[in-house]
Amino acid sequence: KGKGKGKDGPPPEKLFGENWEKPRSAIGLRLFGENSPPEHRWDYVLADDSRRCYAGYMRSPFREAERTQFFDIIKDGTKWCQPEGRQGPIPRKTAWMVKQGCRCHYTYGSIQV
């Protein structure tokens, strides 16, 4: 389990001609870059419409000093926890933030934050 050595089966059946998913235009799905003003340009390094799979990024509109300030405010103002697994502390700290009043949890593996 979890080693990526599963049995290779046939690919899924294409349900919409050459596409596995309904085309975005058919359901009104737009990418962030299509809804952003021109000065906030998104670059898509992966755009596979047939599987509706995308990886895009937008360069930061903030100067380095602003980014550093935001990072420090978040880092210092966040209550970080270091969950423990079966073999002791997990080698990373985690914070899970939700809207006030929400009691949602984040789970990865057997760890719940």
> What's the pLDDT band for 1 if we cut at 50, 70, 90?
very low
Q: What is the mean pLDDT of residues 78-89?
A: 88
Band (pLDDT 50/70/90 cuts) for residue 70 is very high
Specify the pLDDT at position 46. Answer: 96
Would the pTM of this model clear 0.85, i.e. be above it? Answer: no
Q: What is the mean pLDDT of residues 88-111?
A: 85
What are phi and psi for residue 85, nearest 5 degrees? -105, -165
Residue 87 has pLDDT above 80, yes or no: yes
Alpha-helical runs (H) found in the chain: 24-27, 32-35, 64-77
Query: Are 45 and 55 a contacting pair, CB within 8 Å?
Result: yes
- Distance from C-alpha of 55 to C-alpha of 41, rounded to nearest angstrom: 14
Domain residue limits, the chain: 24-58, 78-112
30: Cα separation from own chain's centroid: 17
How many CA atoms lie less than 13 Å away from 30 in the CB half-sphere? 7
pLDDT digits (tens, 9 = 90+) for 16-48: 778 888 888 889 999 999 999 998 999 999 999
